[in-house]
């Protein structure tokens, strides 16, 4: 049995997980700084990095203790090495290097975006590739062809904002707490999705482009007048209708483009990862669409859609099996890396 420790610290979540054989989560812990950043309306990089320094050692110790394991039982340590906030990434990468060096085990550098689809392995001993996957989070909204875990080709994606970012901006317009995505999702369930007419960019074109900035602006104007500066006058029903209308616009385009991408690729397995994959409206619509077509839909559990370390360990395990091992000079990168992992 192989035991991989995963460490994730790319943004404001410090997370540690122990994953056995690449799919069984035997321990995990997460410390989120989201509450600290609610007052700022977003993540402050320097504060986030310090938060990781404070939280990480205790989380590693806790996950090992709660799982009844010691560091000496680890077979490899995997860390989210890019993309992300550089100060935040450095904390996780440094911790992983220390563990790898101290225990003489392989260090695995994991791409955070690839890991959002790596989460599909959690709870599944095997995943049938190829598949077409959407990663929709606060920073990314892209469609990929995956020939194996971590073997992704970009098929298309947003030309401006990410879907999660649009959700968070919509939440802010409505005065909801940051991050707004989960709140908009919750309130949308009780609203009328037809109340506000909102744009669905590129929905009828033949490309795999996505765009959310027009929707974001249209939503602001619909809520706060033509200058976007009027006070919000909606009552609770109106807010629910606004959330439902916004959600319908986002879900319509994400579903349409994911289906189009799979059709183009001739692939009958579709998947979604990233924080927006928690969205109940999106999950329900995809379930229906996959069922109608006789396709397979793979979705991680919601707790493994948002940033977590089990997804890092899961993909790390696959990379380790393929011998894709980093050395102790591994440097985190703020933007994505398509470069080789063996350096």
The span of 18-26, 59-67, 90-98, 179-187 binding ligand KG4 (CB under 6 A) equals 179-187
- The residues near 156 (Cβ < 8 Å, ≥ 6 apart) are 142, 143, 207, 208, 209, 210, 257, 261
End-to-end distance of the chain based on CA atoms, in angstroms? 27
Residue 83 binding ligand KG4, by CB under 6 A: no
Site string for ligand KG4, 279-298 (x = CB under 6 A): x-------------------
Q: How far apart are CA 14 and CA 48, in angstroms?
A: 9
Number of Cβ within 10 Å of residue 97's Cβ equals 18
Smallest separation (angstroms) from ligand KG4 to the CB of 132: 19
Nearest Cα to Cα of residue 55 among 94, 4, 16, 100 = 16
Q: Beta-strand (E) ranges in 167-243?
A: 209-210
Quick check: 166 and 151 in contact, CB under 8 A? no
Q: Which one of Zn ion, ligand KG4, none interacts with residue 92, CB within 5 to 8 A by kind?
A: none
111 binds ligand KG4 (CB under 6 A): no
Nearer to Zn ion, 168 or 307 (CB): 307
146: β partners: 131, 152
User: Which of residues 37, 82, 144, 167 is near ligand KG4 by CB under 6 A?
Assistant: 167
Q: How far is the CB of 327 from Zn ion (least distance, A)?
A: 25
Give yes or no for residue 307 binding Zn ion (CB under 5 A): yes
Of 182, 191, 300, 316, the one binding ligand KG4 by CB under 6 A? 182
Residue with tokens 């986002």: 250
Interaction between residue 82 and ligand KG4 (CB under 6 A):
no
| Nearest-approach distance from CB 175 to ligand KG4, in angstroms | 15
Given the complex with Zn ion, which of 88 and 245 has the nearer CB atom?
88
Residue 118: which residues within 8 A CB-CB, separation 6 or more?
110, 149, 150, 273, 311, 312, 314, 315, 318
Measured from the CB atom, the residue of 165 and 307 that comes closer to Zn ion is: 307
Contact 129, 32 (CB under 8 A): no
Q: Which helix (H) or strand (E) holds 99?
A: helix 86-103
Between 276 and 310, CB nearer to ligand KG4? 276
Q: Does 12 bind Zn ion (CB under 5 A)?
A: no
Within 120-179, which residues bind Zn ion (CB under 5 A)? 137
Q: What's the CA gap between 343 and 323, in Å, rounded? A: 12
Which residues lie near ligand KG4 (CB under 6 A)? Answer: 11, 137-139, 164-165, 167-168, 179-182, 185, 274-276, 278-279, 306-307
Which residues lie near Zn ion (CB under 5 A)? Answer: 137, 307
């Amino acid at each position: 049995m192989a035991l991989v420790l995963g460490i994730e610290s790319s943004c404001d979540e410090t997370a540690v997980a122990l994953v056995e054989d690449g799919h069984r989560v035997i321990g995990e812990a997460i410390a989120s700084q989201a509450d600290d950043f609610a007052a700022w309306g977003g993540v402050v990089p320097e504060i986030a990095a310090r938060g990781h320094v404070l939280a990480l050692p205790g989380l590693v110790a806790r996950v090992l203790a709660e799982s009844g394991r010691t560091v000496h039982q680890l077979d490899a340590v995997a860390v989210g090495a890019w993309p992300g906030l550089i100060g935040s990434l450095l904390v996780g990468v440094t911790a992983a290097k220390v563990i790898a060096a101290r225990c003489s085990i392989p260090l695995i550098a994991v791409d955070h975006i690839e890991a959002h689809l790596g989460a599909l392995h959690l709870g599944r001993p095997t995943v049938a590739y190829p598949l077409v996957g959407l990663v929709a989070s606060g920073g990314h909204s892209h469609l990929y062809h995956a020939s194996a875990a971590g073997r992704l080709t970009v098929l298309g994606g947003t030309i401006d904002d990410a879907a999660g970012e649009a959700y968070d901006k919509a939440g802010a317009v409505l005065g909801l707490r940051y991050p707004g995505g989960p709140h908009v999702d919750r309130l949308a369930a009780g609203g009328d999705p037809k109340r506000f007419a909102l744009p669905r960019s590129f929905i009828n074109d033949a490309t795999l482009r996505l765009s959310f900035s027009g929707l974001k602006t249209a939503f602001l104007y619909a809520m706060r007048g033509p200058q976007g500066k009027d006070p919000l006058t909606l009552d609770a029903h109106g807010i629910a209708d606004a959330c439902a209308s916004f959600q319908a616009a986002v879900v319509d385009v994400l579903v349409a483009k994911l289906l189009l991408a799979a059709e183009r690729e001739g692939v009958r397995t579709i998947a979604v990862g990233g924080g927006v994959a928690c969205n109940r409206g999106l999950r329900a619509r995809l379930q229906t669409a996959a069922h109608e077509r006789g396709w397979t839909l793979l979705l991680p559990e919601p707790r493994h859609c948002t940033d977590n370390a089990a997804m890092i360990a899961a993909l790390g395990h696959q990379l380790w099996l393929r011998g894709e091992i980093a050395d102790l000079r591994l440097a985190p990168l703020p933007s994505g890396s398509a470069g080789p992992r063996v350096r």
